[in-house]
Structure 1
Amino acid sequence: MKVEEAIGRQIARLREARGMSLSELGEEVGRYLDKPWRRQAVHQAERGRRAFTAAELTALALALDTTIPVLLHADAGADAESVELPGTTLTADEYRALLLHAGKDAPLDGVEELILALHDIGEVLARPTLARLAKIGRVAEQV
């Protein structure tokens, strides 16, 4: 998949998780840019049919209450796809490694990976069934 598609998938996933419509996300992005994105612009972004400027990635991260590395995150798993750049193709593992600074002088080494993991855990815990089970567990501990 192209890098724009990886970003687009994340935008769609995050927008849906927040219960936002295409138009709502476009309006929210517009708070940080000169003008709002139209519904069609958000749709094109989610389909990976547009490149993103640094300002647009920043506005999307703010509008979706996330970070830029999360926007760049490619889905992991057994069926993980390679990521295509104009001049090369990276394996899914190589692409994910780019998002995590592993230099010996990096004081925040691994923090980005932890943030991504916590985000994923938060999404799982936000599922209604798991939320009810957690509430039942808390009540059981009190009894």
Structure 2
Amino acid sequence: MKVEEAVGRQIARLREARRMSLAELGEALGRYLGKQWSRQAVHQAERGRRVFTAPESTAIALAIDTSIPALFVADAGEEQAEMPGSAVSPEEYRAVLLHADKDTPMDGVEELISALSDIEEVLSRPALVRLAKIGRVAEQVAATQETHRP
């Protein structure tokens, strides 16, 4: 997967998690960049068809309330990150988001990114997805029963 595609997927995932439309994200980017992005420009970015400048990366992170390193997190299970000159392994790609030296202590953001990546991998297991759905249904049933009590 190209790095631009990994970033685009993260932008789309985070935008949707914040319940923002493509147009709303484009408008939010305009506040930081001086010119808003069209709905189509946001869509192209989310599809990995755009390379971002440093100000654009910063504006995107601010607009969707995240960190710049969080934009670069790739989906679990990706084989490699394609760079213009060559491909890098998932481990090498992740190392550029965190300190590459294992003896160097991570700062809080890096620890959080590492933990979230591990948690995402665990929570994506089919059995846990089913349990989460069962839990949501149980909460809905309990809430319904409470509203029908005299």
Q: Same fold (TM over 0.5)?
A: yes
Shift of residue 110, structure 1, vs aligned partner: 6.7
Partner of 2:110: 112
- Cα 1:88–1:4 change in 2 (3 A) is same
> What amino acid does structure 1 have at the position aligned with 2:115?
A
Shift of residue 14, structure 1, vs aligned partner: 0.4
Question: 1:85 pairs with 69, 74, 83, which one?
Answer: 83
Q: How does 1:1-143 map to 2 (within 5 A)?
A: 1-77=1-77, 80-103=78-101, 106=104, 108-109=106-107, 111-115=109-113, 117-118=115-116, 129=136, 132=139
Which entry has the higher C-alpha Rg, 1 or 2?
2
Partner of 2:128: none
Q: Are the aligned partners of 1:82 and 1:89 in contact in 2 as well (CA < 8 Å)?
A: yes
Question: What SS does structure 2 have at the residue aligned with 1:69?
Answer: helix
Q: What are the superposed Cα offsets for residues 27-50 of structure 1, whole Å, 9 maximum, x if unpaired?
A: 011111021100000000000001
Question: What SS does structure 1 have at the residue aligned with 2:82?
Answer: strand
Shift of residue 87, structure 1, vs aligned partner: 1.0
Partner of 2:129: none
Shift of residue 92, structure 1, vs aligned partner: 1.5
> What amino acid does structure 2 have at the position aligned with 1:6?
A
Q: Percent identity?
A: 67
Q: Are the aligned partners of 1:102 and 1:109 in contact in 2 as well (CA < 8 Å)?
A: no
> In 1, Cα distance between the equivalents of 2:8 and 2:32?
19
Question: What SS does structure 2 have at the residue aligned with 1:31?
Answer: helix
- Cα 1:119–1:29 change in 2 (3 A) is farther
Q: Are the aligned partners of 1:103 and 1:109 in contact in 2 as well (CA < 8 Å)?
A: no
> Where does the alignment leave 5 or more consecutive residues of structure 2 unmatched?
124-132, 144-150
Q: Are the aligned partners of 1:61 and 1:67 in contact in 2 as well (CA < 8 Å)?
A: yes
Q: Are the aligned partners of 1:81 and 1:92 in contact in 2 as well (CA < 8 Å)?
A: yes
Q: Are the aligned partners of 1:5 and 1:48 in contact in 2 as well (CA < 8 Å)?
A: yes
What is the aligned residue count? 131
> Where does the alignment leave 5 or more consecutive residues of structure 1 unmatched?
137-143
Question: What SS does structure 2 have at the residue aligned with 1:51?
Answer: coil
Q: Are the aligned partners of 2:98 and 2:106 in contact in 1 as well (CA < 8 Å)?
A: no
Shift of residue 104, structure 1, vs aligned partner: 7.2
Normalised by the size of structure 1, how large is the TM-score? 0.77
- Cα 1:116–1:43 change in 2 (3 A) is farther
Alignment RMSD, CA only? 3.1
Q: Are the aligned partners of 1:22 and 1:43 in contact in 2 as well (CA < 8 Å)?
A: yes
Question: What SS does structure 2 have at the residue aligned with 1:66?
Answer: coil
